[in-house]
Structure 1
Amino acid sequence: MLAIHPNARTTPAVRAEIARSPEPSGVLAQRFGVSTETIRKWRKRGPADCQDRSARPHKLPWKASAAERAVVCALRRATGFPLDDLTFIVSHFLPHLNRDAVYRILKAAGLNRLTPADRTRKPHSAFKEDEVGFVHLDVTPLPKLQDRDGVTRKRSLYVAIDRASRFVHLAVKDDEMAASAIAFLEEALAALPFRVTQVLTDRGSCFTADEFETACRRHGVEHRTTRPYTPRTNSMVERFNDRVQREVLSITLYSHQDLETLLAGFTAAYNGRRQRVLKDRSPDLVLRERLRAKPELAKPVTKPPDPEALPKALQMVAAAKEV
């Protein structure tokens, strides 16, 4: 691929023609619309060197001395700290080195990427085995659709998924406020056929509000939140949101009522679908096995699912395919 500067006035073919031409520099400059200095430059290089050269300096000035760079590299090898932590430590005795300077030092020494053996952080591991009742909650925006009153607007999808059985419950709400999150929590507690003991959420404003914390305590549910910038902690529900995006939201729909019907059928199908992570068992089957082994985890009264949810959703999918 040719390396030509985006503001270049000539091409390699024109430059080669300039280098071979015996005409005066002023004539060539007028013909090609460039200065005489440009003509002399390409004549000096010759027809074999007509590409733009890199403007990067051959030697970059260092903000740190050789001894200071050696200290930073030794500290990185000894501790294995990430860049931000290393910069925080270095700034105490080398205050003129900022984060960019430390990164340049590490990159020049080949230490900008640590091997797994050098890392001091614990490696990511799978979820530990929990009993039924540890539920992941999340909220994700839905596309703009027509509401019952004929107004086109966005709504939000709330998801609850049990960590042990992958049993899910979905609901569509008007917004991502604390009142909607509390309403969904109460709906999930009524619909899930087991006692919810813990809920895990991200640090969204609807889940960190005092009202939501109060609702969790009122129902005897322990509320946990993920650490900042660690979405992998709540990855189970995040991956389920991706599944909803692929399998539900890819279907052409015209109203939120159709979407709610389709989501209800999708929930029933998902809970009855065999999954590889559950050793080819469905969430329904795993849940029955868990509750049979520990009956104290089951709820005496549970809101039964709609038996017509899946047939209605299949009819809507067939109609969408015809369209």
Structure 2
Amino acid sequence: MGQVRHGSATTTHAVRAAIQRSQASLAQLSRELGINPKTVAKWRKRATVEDMKTGPSEPRSTVLTEAEEAAVVAFRRHTLLPLDDCLYALQPSIPHLTRSALHRCLQRHGISRLPDVEGDKPKRQKFKRYPIGFFHIDIAEVQTGEGKLFLFVGIDRTSKFAVAQLVATADRKTAWEFLQHLLEAVPYQVHTVLTDNVLCREELAA
């Protein structure tokens, strides 16, 4: 298979190898090969004839902030909901989130596909069936380069309708605000809310 060069390349692998083997001066090689002396110097310093990768070493979203991307990842891992369900639940908190941006984010973190729950795995225990409107609330920690955030997540055990909200602190005030947000966001009656989290449990009991 022939060499594939990027669009702005002025040398081939053979020319680069010749530069690295040659004892001639930069000026002489530049004249003989008809290329810029800086190009000759660049390839003489390198130990390979391959082009270096361009672009950021760690790809990041051009749409999402670091905190928003971390929230998306935490939500997906916490709920294991399909792509469109994640999008619907996260858009109120991240209005500029698009389906394509969400998909690329999940791909970057290796979670674009949900884990297989069938095959040779043991059968899961069947849980009690609940009527629609039975929500469970939890809090997931979101680690970013600037510190720790908290993602409140509420999900209906039957319909899988989910609501999420990213906050800087997790306390009784933000727990109460999320509970109000959940009740306003759900398009049907919420009759039961359960949680294993102490903060949320205190607000439900208040």
TM-score (norm 2): 0.47
**Structure possessing the higher radius of gyration over alpha carbons:** 1
Structure with greater helix percent? 1
Structure of higher RCO (CA pairs closer than 8 Å, 6+ residues apart): 2
